[in-house]
Amino acid sequence: MKYETICLNEERNVTLTSFILPVGGEFRNIPARPAILILPGGGYGMCSEREAEPVAMSYLAAGYDAFILRYSVREHRKWPNPLDDYEQAMSYIREHAKKWHILPDKIAVIGFSAGGHLAAAAATMAKNRPNAAVLGYAVVTEDVIGCNDTAPDTVGEVDLQTPPCFLFHARCDGTVPVENSLRFMTALAQKGITFESHIYGFGPHGFSKGDSSLEVPRKDLCSRIPNWVADSIGFLKDVFGDFGPDGLDEPRCSHFINGNFEPMLSGECTLIKLSAIPEAAQAIRGVVSKAMTFDGSKATLEGMVSQFPHMMFCDICGFSLASAEEKQAALDTLAQIPNPDYEG
Looking only at residues 248 through 307 of this chain, which bind a second copy when binding is defined by CB under 8 A?
A: 252-253, 257-258, 270, 294-295, 306-307
Nearest CA to 47 out of 65, 68, 78 is that of 68
Q: Which of 6, 7, 95, 189 binds a second copy (CB under 8 A)?
A: 189
Residues 75-134 that bind a second copy (CB under 8 A): none
In 10 A of CB 306, how many CB atoms?
A: 12
- State the burial class of residue 99 (Cβ atoms within 10 Å of its Cβ: 0-12, 13-18, 19+): exposed
Closer of 72 and 258 to a second copy (Cβ)? 258
Per-residue binder mask for a second copy (CB under 8 A), 191-220, x = binder:
---xxxxxxxxx------x-xxxx-xxx-x
CB 136 within 8 Å of CB 173: no
Q: Which of 91, 150, 223, 336 binds a second copy (CB under 8 A)?
A: 223
Closer of 71 and 235 to a second copy (Cβ)? 235
CB 113 within 8 Å of CB 41: yes
CA 105 from centre of chain? 13
Residues 166-185 that bind a second copy (CB under 8 A): 166, 171-175, 177-179, 182, 185
Q: Which of 164, 210, 259, 267 binds a second copy (CB under 8 A)?
A: 164
CB 194 within 8 Å of CB 166: no
Q: Binding segment for a second copy among 96-104, 105-113, 190-198, 328-336 (CB under 8 A)?
A: 190-198
Closer of 87 and 315 to a second copy (Cβ)? 315
Closer of 84 and 315 to a second copy (Cβ)? 315
Residue 121 three-state SS? helix
Rounded CA separation 147/143 (Å)? 8
Least distance from C-beta 298 to a second copy, angstroms?
16
Q: Binding segment for a second copy among 51-59, 94-102, 109-117, 327-335 (CB under 8 A)?
A: 51-59
Nearest CA to 327 out of 338, 318, 336 is that of 318
CB 111 within 8 Å of CB 134: yes
